[in-house]
C-alpha cells in the first residue's frame, strides 16, 4: 500500500470518527428536543386548560354567567383538541356532558351543584392523567439522556483512543524511516559501505530501502575491488619515501602528521611512532627544528647536526590541493651538504686567488707610476698610449679582485661593518668625488637633489659610499654624453633614501627582478658586457647587512633609478 493511500485512510478514519460523534450528538439532541416539546405541548397545555376551567367552576355563584360560560367553553374546546393520553378522552367527555347540564336553565340548583362536583372530579382526573404522563415522559427523557451520555462517552473514548494511537504512531511511521535513511547516508558519507536499511514495508519507504541497499552494496563491491590495489600503491609509495635521502614530512589540513620517513625522524630526533598521528605544533613546542619547519620564513639553508655530523638542507613546502582547497602540506628537506661544500671550496678558491692577485696588480700599478714619471725617461706617443691601456686594465683587474674579495667575505660571513652615525651629505660627497673625473670625461652633469637638515644615518660610511659609487659608475656608463645624473637624498619617515637617477635606455621589466642576483648581467644586444655581474649583488648584501632596503625603478626609454634606504640614528 502506498504512503499516499495510507495517509488518506488515516485522515479518513479520523474524519469518520468525528462524523459519527457529530451524527450521534445531533440525533440525541433532536430526541431530547422532541420529548421536551411533547411534554410542553401535550401535557402542560392540558394542565393549563383544566386549571382555567377549575377557576370558572370555583366561582361563588351557583349558576354561571355568560362570560364564565364562554371562558369555560373556550378552554374546554382547546382541551378537546389536545387529548393525547389514555383515559383523557372519557374524562373530557364527562366534563362536556356536565357542562351542558350547567348550561341548561331548567336545571335545579341541586343538579347544578352535582354537575359542578362531577366537573371538578373529571378535571382532577384529567390532571392526574397528564401529571402521570409528564412523570412517565420525564423518565423517558432521563433515559434518553442516559443513553446519549453513555453512547457519546463510548464513541468519544473510542475516537480519543484511536486518534491518540494515530497521533503517537503515525508520525513515527513517517519519521523513523527518514531518520534511518539519514543515518544511512551519513554512514555512506563516512565510507561505511556495510550500512543497510531494513524497511519491511511494501510502500515507497520499502522501495527506497531497496534502492539504498543496492547502492551501498555496489559501493562496497567497488571499494573492495580497489582496496587491494590502493593498499599496494600505498605500500609502494611509502617504500619509495622511506628510501629517499631527503627528509619528508606530510601534514593534513589540520596540521596532523600523517607520515614521515626515517631521514625526517633522524633529523628531528623523534621516532616515527611518536610523530605520526600527533598535532605538529604541539610537538614543535619541544623541538626547535620542527618549529622552524612549520614557520613561514625566507628560504635559506638550514645547518642541522645529526648522525654525529653537520649537514646542510634547504626546505621546500609543497601544498596538496584538491578542488581548489588545500588539504595538506608536504615538507621536504633536501640535503645540499655536497653543494654547500663545493660552494665553500669555490669561495675559498676565489678568496685565495683574489688575495694573491692583489700583490702583482699592485706591483703593476707601481711600475706604471714609474713609467709615467718623466724623470725616468721620455716615452713616445705610442708608448704613452700603451701605458694608459695597461693602467686601465690594471684598474679593472683591481676592481674585479676587490669585488671577489668582498663576495668571499659576504659568503663566509666574515664581512666587518663599522657602524657609526654619519651625515648623508658626507656619504654623497665621498661618492661624487670618486666619480667626478669619469663624469667630466663624458661631460655629464651630476645634479644633487637633497632635503635640508637631513638626520644622521646609522651606517658603515665606507661600504655605503661604495654602493653609491657603484650606482653612479653604472649610471655614467650607460648615460649619453652631455646628459645628466641626479643624486637624490630624501627623508622617508624613519629612513633616509639615497637614489641615483639616469636618463639612459632603461631596463626591461623582465630583467629587473634578477638585477641583484650574483653574476647576472642584463643582455646588451651585442654592445658587450662590463664587469663581473657582482656589483649590484654585493651592494644588496651591504645594504641589507645595515638593516636597509635596496630597490630599482626603470622603464625603457626613460632611464633607471637605483636607490637604497637606511635607518636614521636612534637619537632622532
Domain boundaries defined on the chain: 3-175, 244-335, 341-412, 420-567
pLDDT band at residue 551 using 50, 70 and 90 as cut-offs: very high
**Average pLDDT score over residue span 10-22:** 75
pLDDT interval class at 158 (50, 70, 90): confident
Helix (H) or strand (E) holding 496: strand 495-501
Name the helix (H) or strand (E) containing 453: none
Q: Which range (72-86, 148-162, 361-375) has the least confidence?
A: 361-375
For domain 420-567, give its CATH number from 3.40.190.10, 2.60.40.640, 3.40.50.1220, 3.30.565.10: 3.30.565.10
At 214-247, the pLDDT tens digits run: 888 887 777 666 666 766 677 777 777 777 778 8
Global pTM value? 0.40
Mean pLDDT is highest, among 54-58, 291-295, 383-387, 496-500, for: 496-500
* Confidence category of residue 298, pLDDT binned at 50, 70, 90: low
pLDDT level of residue 495 (50, 70, 90 thresholds): very high
463-473 mean pLDDT:
89
Q: What is the pLDDT of residue 413?
A: 53
Q: What is the pLDDT of residue 553?
A: 92
Residue with the larger pLDDT of the pair 73 and 401: 73
Sign, Cα dihedral of 260, 263, 267, 273: positive
pLDDT at residue 193, as a whole number: 74
3-state secondary structure of 434: helix
Q: DSSP letter at 256?
A: B
Q: Which is more confident, 54 or 39?
A: 54
Between 4 and 112, the higher pLDDT residue: 112
Is pLDDT at 177 greater than 70 in this prediction? Answer: yes
**At residue 51, does pLDDT exceed 90?**
no
Architecture per CATH, domain 341-412, reads as Orthogonal Bundle (1.10)
Average pLDDT for residues 478-498, to the nearest whole number?
92
pLDDT over 60 (residue 414): no
Judge contact between 534 and 407, C-beta under 8 A. yes
**Mean pLDDT, rounded, for 59-63:** 67
Integer Cα distance of 96 and 458 in angstroms? 148
CA 516, CA 564: separation in Å to the nearest integer?
13
What mean pLDDT, rounded, does the chain reach? 78
Query: Is residue 560 over pLDDT 90?
Result: yes
CA-closest candidate to residue 565, choices 460, 489, 487: 489
| Cell digits of residue 93 | 367527555
- Residue with the three cell numbers 654602493: 467
**What is the model's pLDDT at position 572?**
45
CATH of the domain spanning 244-335: 3.30.450.20
pLDDT > 70 fraction of the chain, expressed in percent and rounded? 77
Q: Is 562's pLDDT higher than 90?
A: yes
Contacts of 399 (CB under 8 A, 6+ apart): 531
pLDDT on residue 344: 62
What integer pLDDT is reported at residue 293 of this predicted model? 82
CA gap 46, 75 in Å, rounded: 9
**CB-count exposure of residue 269 (10 Å: 0-12, 13-18, 19+):** exposed
pLDDT of 329-364, one tens digit each? 888 888 777 665 665 655 555 555 555 565 676 667
What are 379-412's pLDDT values in tens digits? 777 777 777 767 766 766 666 666 555 555 555 5
Task: Check residues 89 and 194 and name the one with the higher pLDDT.
Answer: 89
User: Minimal CA–CA distance to 549: which of 516, 521, 524, 571?
Assistant: 516
Amino acid at each position: 500500500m502506498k504512503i499516499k493511500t495510507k495517509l488518506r485512510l488515516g485522515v479518513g478514519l479520523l474524519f469518520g470518527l468525528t462524523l459519527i460523534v457529530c451524527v450521534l450528538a445531533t440525533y440525541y439532541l433532536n430526541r431530547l428536543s422532541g420529548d421536551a416539546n411533547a411534554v410542553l405541548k401535550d401535557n402542560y397545555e392540558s394542565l393549563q386548560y383544566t386549571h382555567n376551567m377549575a377557576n370558572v367552576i370555583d366561582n361563588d355563584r351557583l349558576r354561571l354567567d355568560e362570560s364564565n360560560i364562554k371562558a369555560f367553553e373556550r378552554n374546554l374546546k382547546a382541551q378537546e383538541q389536545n387529548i393525547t393520553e389514555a383515559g383523557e378522552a372519557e374524562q373530557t367527555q364527562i366534563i362536556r356532558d356536565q357542562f351542558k347540564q350547567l348550561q341548561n336553565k331548567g336545571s335545579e340548583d341541586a343538579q347544578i351543584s352535582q354537575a359542578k362536583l362531577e366537573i371538578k372530579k373529571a378535571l382532577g382526573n384529567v390532571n392526574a392523567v397528564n401529571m402521570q404522563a409528564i412523570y412517565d415522559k420525564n423518565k423517558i427523557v432521563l433515559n434518553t439522556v442516559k443513553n446519549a451520555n453513555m453512547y457519546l462517552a463510548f464513541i468519544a473514548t473510542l475516537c480519543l483512543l484511536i486518534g491518540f494511537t494515530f497521533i503517537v504512531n503515525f508520525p513515527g511511521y513517517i519519521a523513523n524511516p527518514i531518520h534511518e535513511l539519514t543515518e544511512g547516508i551519513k554512514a555512506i558519507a563516512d565510507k561505511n559501505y556495510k550500512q543497510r536499511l531494513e524497511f519491511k514495508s511494501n510502500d515507497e519507504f520499502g522501495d527506497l530501502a531497496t534502492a539504498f541497499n543496492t547502492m551501498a552494496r555496489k559501493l562496497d563491491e567497488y571499494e573492495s575491488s580497489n582496496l587491494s590495489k590502493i593498499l599496494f600503491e600505498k605500500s609502494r609509495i611509502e617504500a619509495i619515501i622511506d628510501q629517499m635521502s631527503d627528509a619528508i614530512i606530510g601534514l593534513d589540513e589540520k596540521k596532523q602528521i600523517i607520515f614521515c620517513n626515517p631521514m625526517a625522524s633522524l633529523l628531528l630526533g623523534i621516532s616515527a611512532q611518536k610523530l605520526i598521528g600527533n598535532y605538529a605544533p604541539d610537538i614543535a613546542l619541544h623541538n626547535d627544528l620542527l618549529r622552524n619547519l612549520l614557520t613561514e620564513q625566507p628560504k635559506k639553508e638550514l645547518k642541522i647536526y645529526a648522525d654525529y655530523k653537520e649537514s646542510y638542507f634547504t626546505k621546500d613546502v609543497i601544498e596538496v590541493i584538491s578542488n581548489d582547497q588545500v588539504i595538506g602540506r608536504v615538507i621536504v628537506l633536501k640535503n645540499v651538504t655536497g653543494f654547500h661544500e663545493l660552494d665553500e671550496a669555490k669561495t675559498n678558491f676565489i678568496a685565495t686567488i683574489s688575495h694573491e692577485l692583489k700583490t702583482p696588480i699592485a706591483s703593476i700599478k707601481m711600475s706604471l707610476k714609474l713609467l709615467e714619471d718623466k724623470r725616468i725617461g721620455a716615452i713616445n706617443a705610442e708608448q704613452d698610449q700603451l701605458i694608459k691601456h695597461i693602467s686601465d686594465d690594471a684598474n679593472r683587474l683591481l676592481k674585479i679582485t676587490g669585488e671577489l674579495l668582498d663576495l668571499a667575505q659576504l659568503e663566509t660571513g666574515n664581512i666587518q661593518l663599522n657602524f657609526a652615525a654619519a651625515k648623508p651629505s658626507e656619504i654623497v660627497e665621498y661618492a661624487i668625488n670618486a666619480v667626478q673625473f669619469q663624469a667630466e670625461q663624458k661631460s655629464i652633469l651630476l645634479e644633487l637633489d637633497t632635503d635640508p637638515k637631513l638626520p644622521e644615518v646609522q651606517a658603515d660610511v665606507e661600504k655605503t659610499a661604495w654602493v653609491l659609487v657603484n650606482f653612479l659608475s653604472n649610471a655614467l656608463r650607460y648615460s649619453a654624453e652631455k646628459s645628466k645624473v641626479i643624486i637624490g637624498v630624501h627623508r622617508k619617515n624613519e629612513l633616509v633614501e639615497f637614489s641615483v637617477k639616469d636618463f639612459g635606455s632603461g631596463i626591461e621589466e623582465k630583467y629587473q627582478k634578477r638585477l641583484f642576483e650574483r653574476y647576472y648581467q642584463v643582455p646588451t644586444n651585442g654592445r658587450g658586457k662590463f664587469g663581473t655581474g657582482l656589483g649590484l649583488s654585493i651592494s644588496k648584501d651591504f645594504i641589507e647587512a645595515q638593516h636597509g632596503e635596496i630597490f630599482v625603478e626603470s622603464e625603457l626609454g626613460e632611464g633607471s633609478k637605483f636607490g637604497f634606504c637606511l635607518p636614521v640614528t636612534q637619537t632622532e
